[in-house]
Amino acid sequence: MLGIAYLKASPTTYVLHYKNGAVKREGKGLSFFYYRPTSTLVLVPVASADLPFVWTTTSADFQEVTVQGQLTYRVADPKKLAALLDYSVDADGKHRSEDPEKLEERLIHATQVLAQAVIGRMALREALVSSAVLVREVTAGLRAADAFTMLGAEALALSILSVRPTPEMARALEAEAREQLQREADSSIYARRNAAVEQERIIKESELNTELAVESKKKDIREKKMAADIAVEEQRTALITRQVENDKQAADSRAYALEATLAPLRTSDWKTLMAVSSGGGDPKLMIALAFRELAENAQKIGELNMSPDLLKSLLTK
């Protein structure tokens, strides 16, 4: 009515009220009446916003990768942004130009340039697992990027959802990964078998060591028993030797006594000894001595006659 309008902005909208080319009001969430023919309203959203992105880049080994993520930003200096892009609105509160959309494109382009610089230094395998590195380096680059500083924007967060290769390369990598996992599984099986063999060897060695220890103990027992037997035999030998020496001494004593007893008889005539041993009264002995004397002097005897009665008496008990 009569060109007078009323504006009520949200708390997340920065309002610039230009009148006759000069800023009359500015601030967040303003509410006021204004004269439409002489006023220009600029509404700059200062709330945080999310910009999803998907783009394709090339790794250091010339392999194509697709990066998908999301950039969260906000307008930190709305006056600087309003000086570069047209955020003026019409009577219905809609932006008159497409500059607000250009802000998102410029921020996405700045993010893409930084991400391409990081991935361009990495090989494909490294790039596929470099989400954390990519987020850290690109975020640091965005906070110091001229594109953000000049537009008065601020990067709040960066999320890298995926870094994917081409389908053909993905299948090749999956096949290689499967082969590697299979080799690792085989290595694990071999290692387990080797461990089992090693444990079996240890058990066998333990059993052999136990047997050797038992045999050593048995050997020690046999040697100690043998030593005891040898000691017993040595004692027995010493005893026998002592017995032999004692018997020898006893025999020497008896021989000496007999020698002393027979010494007087050696010089005596045997005839006398026989007569003495018989008591001198045995006729048969006397006759036998007589016959012995006759035999000793046989060369001197011409003829000898013995009666049968004499022989009979000699042979009769």
DSSP per-residue string spanning 7-75: EE--TTEEEEEEETTEEEEEEES-EEEEEGGGEEEEEEE-S-EEEEEEEEEE-TTS-EEEEEEEEEEEE
Q: Does residue 118 have a pLDDT over 90?
A: yes
Strands 153-165 and 4-8, bridge-based pairing: unpaired
Q: Does residue 278 have a pLDDT over 60?
A: no
Locate 220 and state its tokens: 């020690």
Average pLDDT for 286-311: 69
pLDDT grade, residue 265 (50/70/90)? low
Q: What is the pLDDT of residue 76?
A: 92
Average pLDDT for 30-49: 90
pLDDT grade, residue 109 (50/70/90)? very high
By mean pLDDT, which of 140-144, 217-221, 270-274, 286-290 is the weakest?
A: 270-274
154 CB burial (10 A radius; 0-12, 13-18, 19+): middle
Which pTM value belongs to this model?
Answer: 0.56
Q: Does residue 223 have a pLDDT over 60?
A: yes
Q: Does residue 312 have a pLDDT over 90?
A: no
By mean pLDDT, which of 71-75, 110-114, 205-209, 249-253 is the weakest?
A: 249-253
Q: What is the pLDDT of residue 271?
A: 61
Domains of the chain in sequence order = 1-46 (no CATH), 48-165 (3.30.479.30), 270-297+310-314 (no CATH)
Which secondary structure element, helix H or strand E, spans residue 313, and what is its range? helix 308-315
SS3 159: strand
Q: Does residue 121 have a pLDDT over 80?
A: yes
pLDDT grade, residue 144 (50/70/90)? confident
Q: Does residue 15 have a pLDDT over 80?
A: yes
Which secondary structure element, helix H or strand E, spans residue 154, and what is its range? strand 153-165
Cβ–Cβ under 8 Å, residues 28 and 11: yes
Q: What is the pLDDT of residue 20?
A: 82
Cβ–Cβ under 8 Å, residues 104 and 51: yes
